[in-house]
Structure 1
Amino acid sequence: MAFAASPPCIAPSPRRAARAGYRSRLIIAWAIAIAALAFPAAGLLAYAGILAYRHARTMRLVPTARSGLALADADPPDAPVCIVVPAHNEERVVAGLIESLRAQDHPRLSVVLSLDRCTDGTRAAALDAIAGDPRFHLHEIDRCPDDWAGKVHAIWSAVERAPAARDADFLLFADADTVFSPRCVSACVAMMAHRGLDLLSLLSTLTTDRWFERCIQPVAGLELVYQFPLTRSNAPNAVRPFANGQFMLFRAQAYRRVGGHAAVRGELLEDLALARLVAERGLAPGVALADGVLRCRMYPDWPAFRRGWKRIYTESAKRRSSRLRRSAWRVRALGAILPACTLALIAVSAAALVARPGGLDLGAPRLGAALGVAALAAWWWALARIYASCASPRWAVFAAPWAFWSVGSILADAARDLRRGVPTQWGGRTYARADRA
């Protein structure tokens, strides 16, 4: 029987084999990249959900100072209130504060400006703005003891020596760079009585007309609120008491019961220290959102912004460089690295869908692209709500990865300065701080 000859086996050309091998490796690389990048994208989606939930819960549960307006209308407060304002070289802003305080509608108000070692025109600017108003008093300080922080000593000295402070039922400590709406004091005293608080602190509405205030400031504040959740600060027997030194309204009796500013004489973040003392003594601290009733420009320029937040973060971390380093990595990872990986997932998935290489299941890149877009959209939506509540423009959320990286850098620099023993410059004084590791 004759058998037909089988056709000759033709080996693939080396070029065709190389292309096939390259295509196979590319398909594997695409699949691995999509699978690997899906994890940080899922993490970003989860982080966006947590941000949105916490922000919504905070806005729902934490009262605003505007809620005190109706309370003041129903039962106008008339207890004597003394406002104490420490001022070190505040020529630039003190007139704006004084004008807003002169416009207050509270009937029994006095103001003590504690001029702390001023070397500029603060005194002259204050006198011009006061214009003979008898409710205002100047208290001048020419030196600060070595074991006191300058601001703390300025407040304590005014409280101890000014008759208006000694006779008041309520003591309000405010920064010189704040501006009060006309009914701020009355609303806050009424709210304090309604809530049965011994200390009420406002989170002021911050100015947003400078680039770092629009882009970086919301993230800087977000990190502080992450460390001190406002809902927990307002809970009974608060385990994370919080206060903002820009506005701290005390019942005078409660203030003296905790020892006043003398009890926190060496603290560079005296507001948190006083809030802890109030909670430890079984008294009732509380926080409210200003919602425009109190406004503040924290820092005039970017270098001052960085210095100020380094001090805040260092003290809020209880001078522990290890805690600052962990916070720096967390902020960068959540706000910069996860979004970058998510963008990479979208790019890799889109490239795979465009190329459509044979042998690659297109379900994976479709799912990767959908996950990436959903994660970024949810993250930016959550941040847009946070930025809007800070009165920042919503377009600034598109600079959020850079903002998170910048805040992480501030935290990392604070840790490095603490490890190296770099002193803190604040209020015309230098403070050496030891790293508590």
Structure 2
Amino acid sequence: MLVVGVLALAALAGWLYLALGHGGFWKTGPGLPPGADPSGWPEVVAVVPARDEAAVLPETLPTLLAQEYPGTFRVIVVDDGSGDGTADVATRLGGGTDRLRVVGALERPPGWAGKVWAMSEGVQDAGEPEFLLFTDADIAYAPGTVAGLVRAALADERDLVSQMAMLNTDTRWERLIVPAFVYFFAQLYPFRRVTRDGARTAAAAGGCILVRRETLAYAGGVNAIKGALIDDVALGRLIKRAGGSCRLDLSRDVTSRRPYPGLADLWTMVTRSAYDQLRYSPALLTGTIATLVLLYAVPPAAAVAGLAGLVTGTGSAALAAAAGLLAWTIMAATYAPMLRHYRLSPLRAPALPLVALMYAAMTIDSARRHRAGRGGAWKGRTAPH
């Protein structure tokens, strides 16, 4: 029981740091600053990589084309070798508007990730706008969102402004796993540290990234992240390392319409990039799993074991129970704001350890798939590593 108590104290120390000293990662506000309308609105071109997205485009592309942006705004859909008529659907949804251009990506060169190559093709076709908006085909936009992104970029002189899209939580599995996915992302890349100039933390959320074209070109262009599987984080790092200023926020105005109806769909979403996040390192994999177990599994286990020990009079039971319960409480308290952001009951928060153990299993499976030659599998492609 003494060993359990010591592990619980270590977990408690970890949660005290995370809650108080880790960039306020658990906070979900305040969102984009309102900003004032500029005297002249810069040109914006949205680049939408699309591979076999015919089913979801009718729910998303019209919301982008309907943006009431005061300046010049165009949309380029890059058909990335689709076999389901994606280009035809996009053209039909455009209805002849000169705001939309549908282009076919050339054959992907060796060493390029599929999405990044499609992004590069869109940039080549965009001309010389002041801002590029990289957005996924499954992302829908509330009215006025593009103008709000530009206001925020101009008001704070940001080179990159990104919004973490609201993901679907319609099914039981989505409600269990999706808020935790965003919570863990924020824990890895605290949004306030991303936004703080001078801080080393850099990231972006791939569903919605507004970036200054000249800054991107100065940083090396999309070519500089050509092999990136987690392209949004790579793009954020690229811009920040080049001296650019970034901003990352949660959003309810940017929403994903991609469904993940079953556990297998969500499992694939996570395993696709989890091992890439660890740079394909067995040592980092081992350390990550050990940290997840310490932070998420030890507190409830110590609390239960300690309370049982109090009944039987086991030595050090009080230490294990107190440290475990306090760490578990802090953990749940930091998770509750994300649940509220997704309009879910904070009473779900104490179950986070179970979800964390599922993510640990997904991470291990991601490494297994990589070793089997199926790493980063997405729509018939694997990662270029």
TM-score by length of 2: 0.88
Aligned to 2:383: 431
Give the count of matched residue pairs. Answer: 383
**Maintained 8 Å contact 2:191/2:248:** yes
Equivalent residue letter for 2:356: F
1:115 correspondence with 2:79: yes
Aligned to 1:324: 285
Equivalent residue letter for 1:180: Y
Post-superposition Cα deviations, 1:359-418, rounded to whole Å, max 9, x if no partner, equal x99xx7677656555444443333223322344432332432210100111122223334
Aligned to 1:222: 183
**Maintained 8 Å contact 1:179/1:295:** yes
Q: % of aligned pairs identical?
A: 26
**Maintained 8 Å contact 2:24/2:190:** no
Aligned to 1:242: 203
Equivalent residue letter for 2:77: L
1:190-201 → structure 2 map (5 Å cutoff): 190-201=151-162
Equivalent residue letter for 1:90: E
- Work out which of the residue numbers 37, 41, 61 in structure 2 matches 1:78: 41
Q: CA deviation at 1:187?
A: 0.6
Aligned to 1:389: 341
**Maintained 8 Å contact 2:45/2:133:** yes
Using the alignment, how far apart are the partners of 2:18 and 2:258 within structure 1?
25
1:132 correspondence with 2:85: no
Q: CA deviation at 1:419?
A: 4.5
Q: CA deviation at 1:77?
A: 5.9
Aligned to 1:295: 255
Q: Which runs of 5+ in 2 are unaligned?
A: none
1:256-295 → structure 2 map (5 Å cutoff): 256-290=217-251, 292-295=252-255
Distance 1:370 1:279, change over 3 A: closer
Using the alignment, how far apart are the partners of 1:314 and 1:370 within structure 2?
35
Post-superposition Cα deviations, 1:38-74, rounded to whole Å, max 9, x if no partner, equal 3344445444434433688346697513x33xx25x5
1:268-417 → structure 2 map (5 Å cutoff): 268-290=229-251, 292-297=252-257, 300=260, 301-352=262-313, 373-417=325-369
Using the alignment, how far apart are the partners of 2:176 and 2:27 within structure 1?
25
Post-superposition Cα deviations, 1:309-328, rounded to whole Å, max 9, x if no partner, equal 22332232222232122112
Post-superposition Cα deviations, 1:81-107, rounded to whole Å, max 9, x if no partner, equal 110100001122111111211331212
**Maintained 8 Å contact 1:82/1:171:** yes
Question: Radius of gyration: which is bigger?
Answer: 1
1:102 correspondence with 2:65: yes
1:156 correspondence with 2:120: yes
**Maintained 8 Å contact 1:88/1:428:** no
**Maintained 8 Å contact 1:93/1:176:** yes
Using the alignment, how far apart are the partners of 1:188 and 1:197 within structure 2?
10
For the residue of structure 2 that corresponds to 1:202, the secondary structure is strand
Q: CA deviation at 1:283?
A: 2.1
Equivalent residue letter for 1:99: P
**Maintained 8 Å contact 1:346/1:373:** no
Q: CA deviation at 1:116?
A: 0.9
**Maintained 8 Å contact 1:37/1:342:** no
Aligned to 1:38: 5
Using the alignment, how far apart are the partners of 1:422 and 1:375 within structure 2?
37
Point out the structure with the larger helix share: 1
